[in-house]
Structure 1
Amino acid sequence: MRPGHHGTGPGEITPDGCAVEFYARLPVGEEPDIIAAAVPARARILELGCGVGRVTRPLLERGFAVTAVDESPHMLDRVRGARTVCSPIERLDLGETFDAVMLASFLVHTADVELRRALLRACARHLAPDGCVLIQREGEDYHTNVPRERTDPSGLTVRIASVEPAGEGVNSVRVEYGFPDAAWTQTFLARPLTPEQFEAALAEAGLKVDAYLTEDRTWVRAVLAV
Structure 2
Amino acid sequence: MREGHSAAGPGAITPDGCAVELYERLPVGEEPDIIERAVPKGARTLELGCGVGRVTHPIVERGFTVTAVDESPEMLKRIRGARTVRSPIETLELDERFDVVMLASFLVHTSDLRVRKGFLRTCRRHVTDDGCVLIQREGEGWHDNVPREGTYPGGGTVRVASSEPVAAGVRSVHVEYIFPDARWTQTFRSRPLTKQAFEELLAASGLTVDAYLTDDGTWVRALPVNGR
Report deviation, 1:143.
0.7
Question: What's the CA shift string for 1:154-179, capped at 9, x where partnerless?
Answer: 21211100011111110000000111
CA contact (8 A) 1:7 1:186 kept: yes
Give SS of 1:28's match: coil
> What letter matches 1:2 in structure 2?
R
Letter of the 1:191 counterpart: R
Q: How far apart in 1 are the matches of 2:156 and 2:225?
A: 40
Q: Distance in 2 between matches of 1:74 and 1:122?
A: 23
Provide the secondary structure at the position in 2 that maps to 1:105: coil
Within 1, Cα distance between the matches of 2:117 and 2:208? 14
Structure 1: runs of 5 or more not aligned:
none
Match runs of 1:1-226 below 5 Å = 1-226=1-226
Amino acid in the other structure paired with 1:216: D
In the TM superposition, what is the alpha-carbon distance from 1:30 to its structure 2 partner? 0.6
Report percent identity of matched pairs.
69
Contact 1:121–1:205 (Cα < 8 Å) also in 2: yes
State the secondary structure of the residue aligned to 2:63.
coil
Partner SS state of residue 22, structure 2: helix
For 1:13 and 1:192, locate their aligned partners in 2 and report how far apart those are by CA, in whole Å. 25
d(CA) in 1 for partners of 2:158 and 2:22?
Answer: 11
Give the match's secondary structure for 2:158: strand
SS in 2 for 1:74: helix
Distance (Å, rounded) in 1 between the aligned partners of 2:189 and 2:116: 13
TM superposition shift of 1:201: 0.6
The code of the aligned residue for 1:134 comes to: L
SS at 1:163 equivalent: strand
1:147 Cα deviation from its structure 2 partner: 0.3
Asked if structure 2 preserves the Cα contact closer than 8 Å seen for 1:27 and 1:154, the reply is no
User: Cα RMSD between the aligned structures?
Assistant: 0.6
- What is the TM-score normalised by the length of structure 2? 0.98
Structure 1 residue ranges, 4+ long, deviating more than 4 angstroms after superposition: none
**Greater Cα offset, 186-195 or 175-184:** 175-184
Contact 1:117–1:204 at 8 Å: present in 2 too?
A: no
Residue 111 of structure 1 deviates from its aligned partner by: 0.2
Residue 115 of structure 1 deviates from its aligned partner by 1.0
Tell me the SS of whatever aligns to 1:13: coil
CA distance in 1, matches of 2:47, 2:66: 7
Partner amino acid, structure 2, of 1:90: E
Letter in structure 2 aligned against 1:96: E
Aligned residue for 1:51, secondary structure, equals coil
Which string of whole-angstrom CA distances, capped at 9 and with x for unpartnered residues, describes residues 103-154 of structure 1?
0000000001121111000000000011000000001121110000011222
1:131 partner SS? strand
Alignment-mate amino acid for residue 98 of structure 2: F
**Structure 2 unaligned spans of 5+:** none
